[in-house]
Structure 1
Amino acid sequence: MNKELIEKILKFRDERNWKQFHNPKDLAISINLEAAELLENFQWTGSDTEVSAEKLENISEELADVVIYCIYMANVLGLDMDTMILNKLSKNGEKYKVNNSYGNKNKYTRLEILS
């Protein structure tokens, strides 16, 4: 992840002395609340892919809020975003082998094992 961008995000927080309020529980709640606000853009749209141009700006802002809170949480817990993401991609690669999951939306526990 872009270290310069992370530093800007943390500087924004620190200039406002907000780190004192950032504990894992409250950050997890905030991530969930922002994700719910993101989801609200798709409520009653009639289709999973129906996104109007006017909603796109709000979707962008809510998605940014989710990512920012995730960065705050990783920082508070001393987790490196790059390492965290690369480790998860590796684990997912083991669960979702290309030959079993290509074009398949099923969870890894429901994939057929193909040799």
Structure 2
Amino acid sequence: MDKLEDLKERLQGFADARDWDQFHSPKNLSMALSVEVSELVECFQWLTEEQSKCLTPQQRQAVIDEMADVQVYLLRLATKLDVNLLEAVEQKMQINAAKYPADLVRGSAKKYTDYKQNADQKCDQVSDKKA
């Protein structure tokens, strides 16, 4: 068994020992996950870009704690929906590689639909020139 599956089982045991599983519906877990992500964002809310890269030990610990909370709720949600997160990430990486070819998107933060639109416009321009 891999470490992620072991962690999922330990979290399930933690919830079971406290009779919390009854509250851990996918809806509730996704809402709790959203709250924890917001708390992670709050750690960086008023920092500059540079400050966000140079956290104090106290700030760093707060970020670590919130990241752990995010992971806990994500793993609980994966358990409830019987999702293998490692497989899901592998599949998503393949999808993203197709959406964002490195030679096309290097150094840009645009959304993939912007690249498609630009490619369509180039095709239209080529068609216009031929007409």
Asked if structure 2 preserves the Cα contact closer than 8 Å seen for 1:42 and 1:48, the reply is no
What CA distance in whole angstroms lies between the structure 2 residues aligned with 1:67 and 1:19?
Answer: 17
1:27 aligned to which of 4, 29, 44: 29
Deviations along 1:44-91, one digit per CA (max 9) or x if unpaired, are 113365232211001001011111101111111121112211111111
The residue identity in structure 1 corresponding to 2:66 is E
Are residues 1:78 and 2:82 paired?
Answer: yes
Tell me the TM-score normalised to structure 2 length. 0.76
Provide the residue aligned with 1:104 in structure 2: 108
Aligned-partner Cα distance in 2 for 1:48–1:36: 21
Q: How does 1:52-91 map to 2 (within 5 A)?
A: 52-91=56-95
Q: Find the counterpart in structure 1 of residue 49 from structure 2.
A: 47
Q: Which residue of 1 aligns with 2:129?
A: none
SS across alignment from 1:2:
helix
Distance 1:36 1:55 in 2: 15
Fraction of identical pairs, as percent: 30
Larger gyration radius, structure 1 or structure 2: 2
| Runs of 5+ unmatched residues, structure 2 | 120-131
State the alpha-carbon separation in 2 of the partners of residues 46 and 82 from structure 1. Answer: 33
**For 1:54, what is the secondary structure of its paired residue?**
helix
Q: TM-score, normalised by structure 1?
A: 0.86
Kindly state the Cα deviation for residue 14 of structure 1 after the two structures are TM-superposed: 2.0
Shift of 1:40: 0.7
Letter in 1 for 2:95: K
Aligned length: 113
Higher share in helix = 2
Q: What is the alpha-carbon root mean square deviation over aligned residues?
A: 1.8
